[in-house]
Structure 1
Amino acid sequence: MASKKKRVEDVAKDDEMSDQSDAEDMEEDTEMEIKEEIQVDFEARVPEGSDFHGIRTLLQQLFLKANINLSEMADIIISQGQVGSVVKQSYVPEEDEDDEEMAEDDPVLAVTSVINITDKKDMECVKQVRSMLIDQCQKCGGDPRFSKVLNDGGHHVGLLVSERYINIPPQLAVPMFESLLKEVEKCKNKKMKYDFAYYILVCKTYRQKGQKNSPLFYTNAEEEYLQEVSETSFQYSVQAERDTVVDGSWDAEDQFEAFRTVLLISADKLKQGVDKIKTELATT
């Protein structure tokens, strides 16, 4: 996947010094503004072993205190090789810098991948994810189609993993998802086990505390457009689990309750959702 670059330029003009005609009482009124050019290059590439801790941290940001073996899940994402990508900030190496040392120090800013939770149903982390989704759906009286889809071994279900830090722009999700769709299609053509009938996506969401019918907001803004093409969804509260991971600045105000919204998306609708993200974010 080609790296994506984002440049932010904020260049201010220096004001000229004002001179006073009276030499004895001359004052220099100098108002200086800092000239600054900030360039941030985002590089997307295949996950590697050195990305393990960064990927695991992002998974914990999503799943919080859920009983899921996140280390095993991170290993799966790294081991797949042909599917998925991570985003890092790219640097121009200095002459005396070691590339391997830079890779270890460079944090993972975002990860996008998909895990076949039908084919890998016997792995510990997948068992835990499947159990958690079914239990949470039943507790909140969610659509029984979730349990039906997860328990039907006649088709493959992919767990979409799309997580990033909150200060990473949502526009980055477009090339990440587009790349993932292309990679899945290539694997399908090779008869690999990526021929999904459904995708499941767990989203970070929140709403005003104590107001059950208040609007639901998506921390990752692009996921709202995926909700529009989903077959069904349900929410469960994670407010009690949020003492170890902070999702955003609104947390400090203590006015919102944190949720996880789970989307069930038919495979033939995912591209439609990604196209909608691309259109909507291009106008913002």
Structure 2
Amino acid sequence: MASKKKRVAEPMVTETVESDSDESSDDGFDDNEMDNENSTPINQEVQVEFEARMLDDSDFHGVKTLLQQVFLKANINLSELTNTLISQNFVGCVIKQMDIPDDDDDDGMEDDDSDAVFGVMSVVNITEKKDLECVQQVRSLLLDHCKACAKEKMSRFSDMIHDSDKHMGLLLSERYLNIPPHISVPMYDSLIKDMEKCQRKQMKYSFARYVMISKTFRMKSASKQKEEPINFSNSEEELLHEVSELSFTYSVEDDRDTVVGGQWDSDNPMEALRTVMVIPADQLSVALTRIKAELAST
């Protein structure tokens, strides 16, 4: 197979990442996602540079693992969903560490971790691809949770999903917790440009709305009368939530034992959630502008 082409020539972001085994998971729980076998805190800072690349077959395991963070125990054919993303690799990207020549590497062998997938962003047309098993499962998952958790919104949400004239895109933005939110800006910029190119070629990437399943969490409340505020694992998604036209939240508390690469603490005070957001297409760029402004001030 030919070597992968980079979607950008320069690093997307340079950040200081603090490695600590006590770091919280994407859902606010203890989760060592990087398979660290030593429970002793490392407490060191490492400069890491990331870049965006096109998805290819070698990314299958890494992308599927990231998708598992979103869907957990849900009955979704993640293999098919992952292959769908790879098959449309002209849209979206994966985030990997930049290749840095190692002068001490005398045997010429590549580090097994050098090709690890740290993040993925893409979109799937769940209107056009409604006959795919994985898309059928995602649509059913969303409708079932809406009916159970936000019955008053069910009719409107069902109309949106089943509208064959106004296509809906499943927006997927997933990364490991220690990857800073700043990296989301060039990823969204790249995705929007990719979709614009596809639209000029009359490909079906012109959406009326996007639907996103966002990882969220909140403090467990002892009182049923009090509902704690929701926090977003990917902080920039709070601004996407603000421009959404419909949203609802459901608990994945019973699914948390399947967390990637770690174990859940049953005494953790946080409740793992998923927040579904329907975002009008013309509001995605509006939200991105706000995200850029927020991150520029931090």
- Same fold flag (TM > 0.5): yes
* Contact 2:13-2:182 within 8 A present in 1 as well: no
> Could you say which residue in structure 2 is the equivalent of 1:63?
71
CA separation of 1:225 and 1:252: change in aligned 2, threshold 3 A: farther
> Could you say which residue in structure 2 is the equivalent of 1:72?
80
CA separation of 1:251 and 1:110: change in aligned 2, threshold 3 A: farther
Q: Deviations over 1:222-265 (max 9, x none)?
A: 10000011101000100000001069999675101111000000
**Range with bigger deviation, 190-199 or 36-45:** 36-45
* Contact 2:99-2:114 within 8 A present in 1 as well: no
1:54 counterpart = 2:53: no
> Could you say which residue in structure 2 is the equivalent of 1:124?
133
> Counterparts of 1:9 and 1:195 in 2: how far apart (Å)?
37
Letter in 2 for 1:255: P
Pick the aligned partner of 2:147 from 138, 146, 149: 138
- Which secondary structure does the structure 2 equivalent of 1:155 belong to? coil
1:87 counterpart = 2:101: no
1:232 counterpart = 2:243: no
Pick the aligned partner of 1:203 from 214, 223, 244: 214
> Could you say which residue in structure 2 is the equivalent of 1:223?
237
> Counterparts of 1:88 and 1:192 in 2: how far apart (Å)?
28
> Could you say which residue in structure 2 is the equivalent of 1:32?
none
Letter in 2 for 1:276: R
Shift of 1:213: 1.9
Letter in 2 for 1:70: L
> Counterparts of 1:63 and 1:91 in 2: how far apart (Å)?
31
> Could you say which residue in structure 1 is the equivalent of 2:3?
none
> Could you say which residue in structure 1 is the equivalent of 2:269?
255
* Contact 2:17-2:179 within 8 A present in 1 as well: no
In the TM superposition, 1:103-182 aligns within 5 A as 106-142=115-151, 143-144=153-154, 145-182=156-193
Shift of 1:97: 3.1
- Which secondary structure does the structure 2 equivalent of 1:167 belong to? coil
Letter in 2 for 1:214: E
Letter in 2 for 1:177: Y
Letter in 2 for 1:164: R
Letter in 1 for 2:281: A
Unaligned 5+ runs, structure 2: 1-6, 19-43
Letter in 1 for 2:74: A
Letter in 1 for 2:249: Q
Runs of 4 or more off by more than 4 Å in structure 1?
Answer: 101-105, 246-253
Letter in 1 for 2:285: K
- Which secondary structure does the structure 1 equivalent of 2:160 belong to? helix
> Counterparts of 1:146 and 1:259 in 2: how far apart (Å)?
19
* Contact 1:236-1:261 within 8 A present in 2 as well: yes
Shift of 1:152: 1.2
Unaligned 5+ runs, structure 1: 11-35
- Which secondary structure does the structure 1 equivalent of 2:79 belong to? helix
> Counterparts of 2:169 and 2:148 in 1: how far apart (Å)?
23
> Counterparts of 1:202 and 1:7 in 2: how far apart (Å)?
26
* Contact 2:17-2:178 within 8 A present in 1 as well: no
User: Greater RCO between the two (CA within 8 Å, min separation 6)?
Assistant: 2
> Counterparts of 2:141 and 2:16 in 1: how far apart (Å)?
41
Pick the aligned partner of 2:51 from 43, 47, 52: 43
CA separation of 1:221 and 1:7: change in aligned 2, threshold 3 A: closer
Give the TM-score normalised by structure 2.
0.80
RMSD between superposed Cα atoms in Å? 2.4
Shift of 1:92: 1.7
* Contact 1:166-1:248 within 8 A present in 2 as well: no
Letter in 1 for 2:75: N
CA separation of 1:72 and 1:104: change in aligned 2, threshold 3 A: farther
Identity %: 53
> Counterparts of 1:5 and 1:68 in 2: how far apart (Å)?
32
**Range with bigger deviation, 84-93 or 248-257:** 248-257
Letter in 2 for 1:184: M
- Which secondary structure does the structure 1 equivalent of 2:208 belong to? strand
Letter in 1 for 2:200: N
